[in-house]
Structure 1
Amino acid sequence: KLTGMSFRVPTSDVSVVDLTCELNSEATLKEICAEMKAQSEGALKGVLGYTEDKVVATDFRGDTRTSIFDADASIALDGTFIKVIAWYDNEWGYSNKCLEMVRVVSK
């Protein structure tokens, strides 16, 4: 099960996604973070970012990736209930994604 929301933070651009997940099987936050990091460096490189830094919204201004997983802000409420946080630039990043889509469609 997934429940989530995205909200704008008080900056000219950059938003954050707060995604709450109920998992079918148990997983630790450490395991989830490791998988997010692996995906950000592998199959989803350039699409998914990963950070363990202490960050604020303006740190992601101008970032073209679809979202950046914030390991430091994500939490495990128990073995099957987690909350993950991801940032994205909803202006520049979105514009870049539109251009990527145009390139794909035009082929």
Structure 2
Amino acid sequence: ELKGKLDGAAVRVPTPNVSLIDMVVSTARETSAEEINAAIRAAADGPMKGILGYDSIPLVSIDYNHDPRSSICAIDKTNVIGGRLARVMTWYDNEWGFACRMIDTAAAMGRLI
């Protein structure tokens, strides 16, 4: 279903545990960087608060060390080419963020017991 519509890369940067995802997607309809960023902000400020985040100022990998969010979008880097080819860059602390999600998972499982 996503074949030919999604491409990206996780780029290890020179820190022990912070990485950058450079995601490129082909959208079903025309969009803009502003529309994508508005959707990211709405999710990060709403139902994904604490898991998804965004920054509008240029930061570097060390700024995200021990960030508990699973993904922090660099919305100043969002780009759309030709209306349908979108690029989003997002940072994550692959060790700390994962550990935080495992705590969330354990807490959710505990509520089921």
Smaller-chain TM-score bracket? over 0.9
In structure 2, what is the equivalent of residue 92 of structure 1?
Answer: 96
Other structure's SS at 2:76 match: coil
- Pairing 1:37–2:41 present: yes
Could you list the structure 1 runs, at least 4 aligned residues long, displaced by more than 6 angstroms after superposition. none
Aligned residues: 107
Query: Gaps spanning 5+ residues in structure 1: where?
Result: none
Query: Gaps spanning 5+ residues in structure 2: where?
Result: none
CA RMSD of superposed structures (Å)? 1.1
Other structure's SS at 2:82 match: coil
Q: Which one has a bigger Cα radius of gyration?
A: 2
Aligned positions of 1:40-55 closer than 5 A: 40-55=44-59
Deviation (angstroms), 1:88: 0.5
Aligned positions of 1:5-84 closer than 5 A: 5-84=9-88
Deviation (angstroms), 1:20: 0.5
Identity %: 35
Deviation (angstroms), 1:7: 2.0
User: Could you tell me which amino acid in structure 1 is paired with residue 85 of structure 2?
Assistant: F
CA distance in structure 1 between the partners assigned to 2:107 and 2:100 by the alignment: 11
